[in-house]
Structure 1
């Protein structure tokens, strides 16, 4: 692959994409959109539910109910990132045109290199961006995400560890459902180490993280800026919707089988869930209504990132 914006060896895309992780390269190191002043401006304009942050002194196997927080405002975290001892993610940055353009530029370089004429033709739909700003020595606990991800390192050094879960022995279907619908964190066991892909990422480097592959991350001795360039294929969106539908039914006392176990029942649940999601979609333009919808669909703890008081427990 020869694209300059986001690239990898041709063999990686031919033999690994999109089912296995591999290292990538990118050209966003000096991009003015990914500097601390630009990020501070972005923080000031993001809705509060698009900003999550806590202490960087979390454990790899962190219990979400005792995640240590920092007693700082989002703006303070960015301005004091070298000494704040904090980890922050800015979610859904594609809502801002400049960052939408960055994400599409990166993915279009991959699409063209693969012989596609458009993002949709390449399967890059539901494109979202997550921008990470972390203090030195900060840990992102072991977790999984509900999308495919080109993760790029822009500033600082980061250690990014991805683990093979194809046989579901690291995270079971029940744990995957919980991570997607309740909280992303998973319990880490030392026995997982042998199945890890361990990456030291410098600016200009990155890694492709496949859908629901568990990983944890740690920064080095300087602050870090990173971006997750994510998308969902039609099949990923379908599976995620089924996890949410199953979680809703399970919370109401109706046990469910994993997606794919009962195709007919899956189709019924999926149809009903998507009708409800379509009705709710206009309401999600309001932050306060998004908060209510998350609570109704995902449970009482769905808005955990609104916590603002410092916790000292681990």
Structure 2
């Protein structure tokens, strides 16, 4: 168990004021945690299941590049980590809770904020951890995530450019429907959207709460960056996902369904219909 709090009182208040629909700039005490230094992360990568390791070239990427067009870097994931300061790449360690030490870290951090989260969106479900190791000037293209997320900066610095939750101009209903049916999460980009972004820059000891369904893109600064991302889902988020799947069914039948609702309005009727059809094998 962690002896000290990860978040100070100001961070708790900032998260409480923003959750769940608005981003928050927070402070934390994890920057010098031994599990987040480069030697520990290189060791973690050797213990992880191969399918939970992802890496690619990441410098000078277009913001609207598709998942399929993201370039490889010609290196193994382990060589990419070893050469991260020079290889212009990005490494993602997914589902770090598969390792007992990192699972314990994740549980301890999220337990600290669980009372705050649960009084708003209910129990924290499907908690997962991810670590990003990025070269200087690496770009993560425009995308959205289906989870609530706190991104903790441990080394280097980066700027996240956030857009409003489910911004209808950027992320239309049919994109949600395709994503929850197994489609990609990267979004197309239009330059006129740039002025609508809310840029938040973080250095070690700072974090960003990223709302569920908020489009965003990220760029690291002049140094190697290490970030820890801890995510969770809620009952509302699962109902939203299933309602998107049900809308896709309706659209394939020639019906133009009403868009799924955004929190706090629920999507339970469509969600339960989708779940019933799934159980029936439809």
TM-score by length of 2: 0.85
The 1:229–1:254 alpha-carbon spacing in structure 2 relative to 1, beyond 3 Å, is: same
Counterpart check, 1:102 vs 2:105: yes
1:192 aligns with 2:197: no
Greater Cα shift, 163-172 or 81-90: 163-172
For the Cα contact (< 8 Å) 1:20–1:210, is it kept in 2? yes
1:75 is matched with which residue?
Answer: 78
**Which ranges of structure 1 fall in alignment gaps of 5 or more residues?**
277-314
Structure 1 equivalent of residue 123 of structure 2: 123
Per-residue deviation at 1:184? 1.1
What do the CA deviations read for 1:215-254 (whole angstroms, capped 9, x no partner)?
Answer: 000111111110111000111122223435655x589x54
Q: Which runs of 5+ in 2 are unaligned?
A: none
Q: Distance in 1 between matches of 2:111 and 2:121?
A: 10
Equivalent of 2:38 in 28, 36, 39: 36
Q: Could you give the per-residue CA deviations for residues 172-227 of structure 1, whole angstroms, max 9, x where no partner exists?
A: 11122334431110012222223221111100111100101000001111111101
Q: 1:195 to 1:127 in 2, by over 3 A?
A: same
* Structure 1 residue corresponding to 2:275, chosen from 254, 270, 275: 270
For 1:58-69, list aligned pairs within 5 A. Answer: 58-69=61-72
Label 1:24 to 1:264 Cα distance change in 2 as closer, same or farther (>3 A): closer
Deviates most, 15-24 or 265-274:
265-274
Partner of 1:185, secondary structure, is coil
Q: Distance in 1 between matches of 2:267 and 2:179?
A: 22
Q: Which moved more, 1:260-269 or 1:142-151?
A: 260-269
Q: Tell me the C-alpha RMSD between the 2 structures.
A: 2.8
